[in-house]
Chains A and B, each alone.
Chain A
Amino acid sequence: MSEEKGNISRRDFFKGAAAGVLGGTALGMGLFSYSPMRKRFFPETKRKLQEIGVVKSLKVTNISETSWFENPVLMGDIKKAGGLLVNQYSYNWPPFGDGSGLGKGSYERGLAKIKHLIPHDLEAAWATTEKLSVSPQNAGGFAALIEVEEMGGRKRKFLLDSGWSYKWMHESFKREGIDQMLKNNEIEAFIISHEHFDHYWGAPVTFKYAPNIKTYIPDTFYPEGLDYLKAAGHRGEVVKVKPGTVNSIIPGMATYVFPVPIICRVLGEQSIYVNVKDHGLTSITGCCHFGIIQFAETAFKEIKYEKDQLYGIYGGLHISPFEDWDPKYDDLVLSLGKYKFQKIGCNHCTGILCAKKFIAAGYPVQQGTARFRSKDTAYLGNGDKIGYGVEI
């Protein structure tokens, strides 16, 4: 009898305990998880304050920010090919067109049509791919010339990205004298931000003039991207920058790779930090897929910079690249002010609408001239220049 009684008690205890565990856990989850007290569980932010050196001044020339000329054409292609997750090499865009139609292409088949022509005869290569590709007339590209003045007065040049269309990038390089600078080895390194068509596929235009140029790529390229580096005519040193590490280029200038997944099956983006004497840190980005605030927060954690001041921004900020919008972009517009950037030179995938929202919010946006097919003065257009630590 007593044993039976004991069994019943044990059963009741477990029954009650099971219900209690569910209730107690739910109570903790509900009452504590979003209360201010939860912040005691957050890890402390430790700043690494890594020294990257300092430069006297920085100048950026916008070689081209018009990655594509007609947004409806690009988005029409993306829509018909199956949306934003489709592999970029299968769109059948130039230079990887193989004549099989939208969304049916491949890197290997497309490259086979022009491989024998790059980089020495880009005119013929583009003429070939124009016939086989979808929307070749819509291709433009993103590229920027970075000129750094060291503390001792020495000036050093770097190329960020090489655009998309061989034809457009060739014209843009000529317009800004980049072809001659590459030929003369004045540009000492080529920094590729990421593998996207509009930043990377025009690489043969750079390698035509400087096949041995030292090239920095994010260590997140897909096999097609890595193969194209060689196929495009590069013969020099390749530095694969690991995600999450500060990669020093010269004193005062470093790159950093964010391992972010990006539309059209691309992974990772490399961006540039430049520490300008007496001013602060400037960011130079191709697309900034990780977000400019993430870039600023990473700088805060990783790098020591002048006056602990975030100073300048140049490049695409990837907010509304297709003139689309989302309330989360408003979060960025509303929050950017507290980072107190002093000079914003945005363009490309920032989106005209976003640039206008920045201006309306009173941010120090340097406006442009809307020349050479750039569409709006709300941001820095093709051929426009901006200085950091120096007025232009």
Chain B
Amino acid sequence: MERFGAGYLEERKLVPRWPQPIPAIVALVLTLIVFYASWWIFQDPRGWMRMYTPYVGYMYTRWWLIMLIWMVYIFNYWPFKRAWLEKTHPVVKGAILTAISIGILLILIKGFFVALLGNFGIAYFNPENLMKLPRMTEFFALEYASLACLMFAAIASWLSPAWVVACEEVPWQNMNQPAKGISILVATFFLSTLVYFMTMHSHMGILYYPWQYFTSIAPPYWEKFANTVSGNFHVSWIMCCTVVVWTVETIWERFPFKLIKTDWLRRVVAFFGIIAFAWAMHFFLYFAQELTWGPAIRGTRLINAPDWRWLHVGEMAVFFLVPALFLTFYCNNWPRRFSLPVNVLVRTGITLAAAALLYIFYYKTSHDFLGTQKGFMHEQQFPMIPTIWLINIWLAHHWFMDNWPGWKMVPKTAEEMAAERAHEEVQIEDTRWSPALGAGLAAGAVGGVLLYFIALKVLPWAYKTIDVLPK
């Protein structure tokens, strides 16, 4: 039977051409060059296409991420055959698959959102329809329509991978492509639409004057709890969900959910567990800002505004995702020598430290090379654009180009696959609950709570001590 791309990622072995850290450094340098060149061409306000208007560039960045996820995680590279994936030069493969992802992206934005949904469903997806409003300018018509599309993208970027990572593709896991891909796509798109209407539509409903009382909940139901009527409150936790899904999939190796033996229970706990972790992150990162910049004041602009603080939660979460993906893609998920929970804890610690350094580096330097403005907060700047742009490039490099040139792709043998499965089973068994874990677990839990309260004391001190934005 002819094989397509299903299982390609699991069945490929990436063999480094040189001893580490050389391949990782080569990959980093190469992808940063591509990042900067493509940033200049597409996004930079001083560059060629200047799509960082900001929402136009933001929308395309977010949806491109989802195109990559769809192609690889949902459609498993279909319609490309396994032989083609294995034998084609990574550069050719990368160019073709990236071009296809861009093609689908344009069809989705221009065809589905603007032409179909914007003409036959909801007017605000189509800038031309928005232009019919009194006093509306072409610029803001395009920005508002892009905002609606990108808010949808935020939800899809969580639910699309979550269905694979947490729900393990049920109930279509045994289907062939493209039927499986289409089924998951339709299901996650439907769920995304539901979540969009319950979280983002009311934001769009009060974007226009007068408030659209008859088509949206105005003022939105979250106003009192979130201290704002802005939908950024939802952008925040949904972005955290995206980040947690990928954290679970990469540096956590689906821990702790994969310890649950019962299939349905594992999938349900994983799906809602990811949301629970995301909400913990959502609240903590908001609190972290209150500790450093003081409580948010409703009605203010910029750094003290609750709506921006919520948005910044999502932005900080993405700063965490960048090193997590680097560790998995280019450092073979180091370390691997300890037990699974210790590996996960060490990787989380490394990722947290790297995220903090990246955050400081970004705000210290981005205005010098990305064409942006100095400052933590600018109403038209979104660090999620460059960070997700870089993530997209890494995904294309890792999924489409097999980490070329630092690594060589070799299909795993049947023995290697069997050995890997056996190792994973042993690892899971080794980590499952036994009374011997009790003392450590209790001590660790107390230590974790203590660590949390120590962090609350350290954060304001660290912010005062580290001069992130030099004069």
Contacts and interface: CB of A to CB of B under 8 A. Distances in A.
A14 B299 contact: no
Interface string A274-318: 000000000000000111011001000000000000000000001
B54 A83 contact: yes
Contacts of B380: 83-85, 263
Interface string A60-85: 00000000000110011011011111
Nearest to B259: A19
Contacts of A42: 290-291, 294-295
B284 A33 contact: yes
A195 to B, nearest CB: 12
Contact of A18 (B51, B143, B294, B339): B339
Contacts of A290: 300-302
A15 B138 contact: no
A346 to B, nearest CB: 15
Nearest to B436: A12
Nearest to B440: A16
Contacts of B445: 20-21, 23-24, 27
A76 B138 contact: yes
A84 B460 contact: no
A86 interface: yes
A259 B290 contact: no
B442 A20 contact: yes
A297 B453 CA distance: 29
A2 interface: no
A363 interface: no
A261 B284 contact: no
A29 B454 CA distance: 12
Interface in B267-285: 276-277, 279-281, 283-284
Contact of B279 (A30, A81, A84, A294): A30
Interface residues on A, range: 35 or more
A154 interface: no
Given A84-B54, A85-B380, A16 B438 contact: yes
Interface string B447-462: 1111111001000100
A41 B290 CA distance: 9
> What secondary structure prevails in chain A residues at the interface with B?
helix
B53 A291 contact: no
B294 A43 contact: yes
A237 interface: no
Given A29-B280, A325-B209, A83 B50 contact: yes
B443 to A, nearest CB: 6
B384 interface: no
A327 B301 contact: no
Nearest to B142: A79
A1 interface: no
A29 B452 contact: yes
Interface in B322-357: 338-342, 344-345, 348
Nearest to A28: B452
B465 to A, nearest CB: 15
Interface string B248-276: 00000000100000000000000000001
B159 interface: no
Given A75-B140, A86-B46, A41 B348 contact: no
Given A325-B209, A330-B229, A335-B298, A85 B341 contact: no
A267 B291 CA distance: 25
B431 interface: yes
B145 to A, nearest CB: 13
B441 A19 contact: yes
B52 interface: yes
A331 B137 contact: no
Contacts of A33: 280, 283-284, 286-287
A18 B286 contact: no
Contacts of B206: 327, 330
Contact of A267 (B53, B374, B446): B374
22 contacts: A13-B439, A15-B341, A16-B440, A17-B443, A18-B339, A19-B341, A23-B441, A27-B445, A29-B284, A30-B276, A30-B283, A41-B290, A79-B138, A82-B52, A83-B51, A85-B53, A260-B375, A261-B378, A267-B374, A291-B302, A294-B302, A331-B305
Interface of B: 45-46, 49-54, 56, 135-140, 142-143, 203, 206-209, 219-220, 228-232, 256, 276-277, 279-281, 283-284, 286-287, 290-291, 294-295, 297-302, 304-308, 338-342, 344-345, 348, 371-375, 377-381, 430-431, 434, 436-453, 456, 460
Chain A to chain B: the 8 pairs with minimum beta-carbon distance, closest first: A20-B444, A24-B448, A16-B440, A82-B50, A83-B53, A335-B299, A28-B452, A291-B301
Interface of A: 8-9, 11-30, 32-34, 38-39, 41-43, 45, 71-72, 75-76, 78-79, 81-87, 90, 103, 259-263, 265, 267, 289-291, 293-294, 297, 318, 322-328, 330-332, 334-336, 353, 357
